[in-house]
Chain A
Amino acid sequence: MPGLPLPLGEGTRVRFMYHQVEIVKEPVQTEPNVFDDMVINVGPQHPATHGVLHLVITLNGETIKKVEPHLGYIHRSIEKMCESLSFRQFIYVTSKMDYLSSHINNHGCCLCVEQGLQIEVPQKAQVIRVLMDELTRIASHVLWWGAMAMDVGALTPFFLSFREREMINDIMEESCGTRLTMNYMVPGGVMADVHPNFVRRVNEFISHFKSKIDEYDELVTNNVIFQNRTKGVGVLSKEDAISFGVTGPSARGSGVSCDIRKLYPYEIYQQLNFEEVIETAGDSFARYVVRLKELRQSMHIIEQLINNIPEGDFQAKTKAVLKLPKGEFYSRVETARGEFGVYIVSEGGTTPYRIKFRSPGFSNLSVLDHIARGAKIGDLVAMMGTLDLVIPDIDR
């Protein structure tokens, strides 16, 4: 009805929100309209951001005009820190970046050091590394599945996902000594042999998980409410996914073939039988489906290896002090979130001269503004959830 005054009077909404207009300093593309635009802060402490991420969202009614991520709340300057750590030490810091795939982060760094020193990793160590990687991937995807369902309003899956995750954490605890930041990989292999119970417990886990993964589908995937919340939401085209550098399951949901395990096979991935999961719809539901299918692929990889761990050394003989030759080294691995790159510039000393971590979360976050524009504010968590952001991985 025209003529009816707004509850607060025109423009007051924005004026009375403390400092929030100042936070959006310079308009990016759209002219802000201080009388119609509403600026809200999501985070730094918000359950849907899964960490200390701060989003400044400009709204027009319920429609998102702009999403601005403000990072740095958990920035530890890991790249600078690594410049004063030796080639053995810096690997341990990288567990703290993407703590949900810490094994794979360590793996990428070890590959880069091994490439520089031309260390041949024993067959047994390669098998153990791949097993640990895939267990980590399952643990990460399972946690994401629970958190994603919780974001869109289903609380039960979160508890179910932790049931499976606990089993993996127990396996990790036995072999690696810790449950979250494992620091198990060292240049040349792994730190210690696996625990005698390892094979039995992984087999138990696989048979348990096989019976439970269908429950995941029944509970969430085939749920009409969930499908309505995610289908057609946050559509990302293939071209944009490549241009924004989106990788991992988020990009594979848009039809981009980007699995480093297939494109640039490392360790023994070339000899293994698994499929690269690709969906073409590009929406949140496609990204969801990719991750659930990847769970089955990871299980398939573990099944091929777990009863065939070869005999031999778990670590190659390396010098006590590692010195990388002068040059540049780059290694790429596939974490649960996408492509993780390690770029080392060495001047021939015992510490890296410069190190850069290409973290998948950083690029995946940059696409959020693009896919959220024009969508409704209620769909934002469904988009963010399927991008699977881990904030320490973004801030580094």
Chain B
Amino acid sequence: MTKEEQKLKLQEQYPSATFDETGQWLVMNITVADWLPTAEAMRAAGFDYMFCLTCVDFKTHLTMVYHMESTTERTPLVVKVQLDRNKPEIETVSHIWRTAEFHEREVYELFGVNFLNHPDLRLLILPDGWEGKNPLRKDFEDPVNMIKL
């Protein structure tokens, strides 16, 4: 399936989404409120493999980036959800794609995104009792353990 066909198909199903075709794969932008119903519908439509889940800090807002594909058709799709930087909250998808459980815990501690209804939202990599800012945010400064050159 080409990017055009994929776009036309998805446009019918999710009329509120906006698309971006400039990159390597088709990018679908949706709102936070739409995310959970969209994710459920996409899993039902065959997108069974989420191969990357991450977050990007754009200083004004956070963007959740989900890379997924179907293991039968192999046409990757990128879904982006923009979050409020001061109070980032999004529904978990760990019950839809089980791999999201660990990846969401990672994003939770490194970016401070709160995943609603996550079964086990605890620190994964950072030491217990970690307080302060989230390390992968752009305004994080650590004078003791320098990670910048």
With A and B bound together, what is the CA distance between A56 and B138 in angstroms? 33
B98 surroundings in chain A (CB, below 8 A): 240, 243-245, 366, 370
Contact partner of B51 (CB less than 8 A), chosen from A245, A257, A327, is A245
Q: Chain A's nearest CB lies how many Å from the CB of B53? A: 9
Chain A minimum-CB-distance residue to B71: A242
Given A72-B125, A358-B52, A363 contacting B99 (CB threshold 8 A)? yes
With A and B bound together, what is the CA distance between A358 and B127 in angstroms? 22
Chain A minimum-CB-distance residue to B149: A84
Given A115-B24, A345-B56, A366 contacting B101 (CB threshold 8 A)? yes
A26 and B120: CB pair below 8 A?
Answer: yes
With A and B bound together, what is the CA distance between A263 and B67 in angstroms? 16
A77 surroundings in chain B (CB, below 8 A): 135, 147
Contact partner of A256 (CB less than 8 A), chosen from B54, B71, B126, is B71
B120 surroundings in chain A (CB, below 8 A): 26, 28
For chain B, residues 100 to 147, give those with C-beta under 8 angstroms from any C-beta of chain A.
101-103, 106, 119-120, 122, 124-127, 135-136, 140, 147
Chain A minimum-CB-distance residue to B99: A245
Contact partner of A327 (CB less than 8 A), chosen from B22, B49, B65, B119, is B22
With A and B bound together, what is the CA distance between A115 and B23 in angstroms? 11
With an 8 Å Cβ cutoff, the count of chain B residues facing the other chain is: 37
A354 and B57: CB pair below 8 A?
Answer: yes
Q: Chain B's nearest CB lies how many Å from the CB of A248? A: 12
Judge if A314 is at the interface, Cβ distance under 8 Å.
no
Judge if A339 is at the interface, Cβ distance under 8 Å.
yes
Chain A minimum-CB-distance residue to B96: A243
With A and B bound together, what is the CA distance between A329 and B50 in angstroms? 17
B49 and A71: CB pair below 8 A?
Answer: no
With A and B bound together, what is the CA distance between A356 and B120 in angstroms? 23
Given A115-B24, A244-B98, A327-B23, A71 contacting B124 (CB threshold 8 A)? yes
A239 surroundings in chain B (CB, below 8 A): 48
A353 surroundings in chain B (CB, below 8 A): 56
Chain B minimum-CB-distance residue to A345: B56
A330 and B52: CB pair below 8 A?
Answer: yes
Judge if B148 is at the interface, Cβ distance under 8 Å.
yes
Chain B minimum-CB-distance residue to A362: B102
Q: Chain B's nearest CB lies how many Å from the CB of A213? A: 31
Tell me the interface secondary structure of chain A in the complex: mixed
A366 and B71: CB pair below 8 A?
Answer: no
B71 and A81: CB pair below 8 A?
Answer: no
B103 surroundings in chain A (CB, below 8 A): 362-363
Q: Chain A's nearest CB lies how many Å from the CB of B42? A: 14
Given A263-B74, A327-B23, A72 contacting B52 (CB threshold 8 A)? no
With A and B bound together, what is the CA distance between A218 and B139 in angstroms? 58
A29 and B119: CB pair below 8 A?
Answer: yes
A84 surroundings in chain B (CB, below 8 A): 147-149
Judge if B97 is at the interface, Cβ distance under 8 Å.
yes
Judge if B14 is at the interface, Cβ distance under 8 Å.
no
A243 and B147: CB pair below 8 A?
Answer: no
A244 surroundings in chain B (CB, below 8 A): 98-99
Q: Chain A's nearest CB lies how many Å from the CB of B137? A: 10
A341 and B74: CB pair below 8 A?
Answer: no
Judge if A75 is at the interface, Cβ distance under 8 Å.
yes
Contact partner of A80 (CB less than 8 A), chosen from B74, B99, B147, is B147
B125 surroundings in chain A (CB, below 8 A): 71-72, 75, 395
A356 and B54: CB pair below 8 A?
Answer: yes
Contact with B along A29-52 (1 / 0, CB 8 A): 100000000000000000000000
With A and B bound together, what is the CA distance between A301 and B113 in angstroms? 44
A79 and B74: CB pair below 8 A?
Answer: no
With A and B bound together, what is the CA distance between A204 and B146 in angstroms? 46
Given A243-B97, A245-B99, A343 contacting B124 (CB threshold 8 A)? no
Binding site for B on A (CB under 8 A): 25-26, 28-29, 70-72, 75, 77, 79-81, 84-85, 115, 239-240, 242-245, 247, 256-258, 263-264, 327-330, 332, 339, 341, 343, 345, 353-354, 356, 358, 362-363, 365-366, 370, 395
Binding site for A on B (CB under 8 A): 22-25, 48-52, 54, 56-57, 65, 67, 71, 74, 78, 97-99, 101-103, 106, 119-120, 122, 124-127, 135-136, 140, 147-149
Q: Apart from A79-B136, A330-B67, A339-B51, what are 11 other A-B pairs with CB-CB below 8 Å?
A: A26-B122, A70-B124, A72-B126, A75-B126, A80-B136, A81-B147, A242-B49, A329-B24, A341-B51, A343-B52, A366-B98
What are 10 A-B contacts with C-beta separation under 8 Å? A28-B119, A28-B120, A72-B124, A72-B127, A80-B140, A81-B147, A243-B49, A256-B71, A264-B74, A366-B102
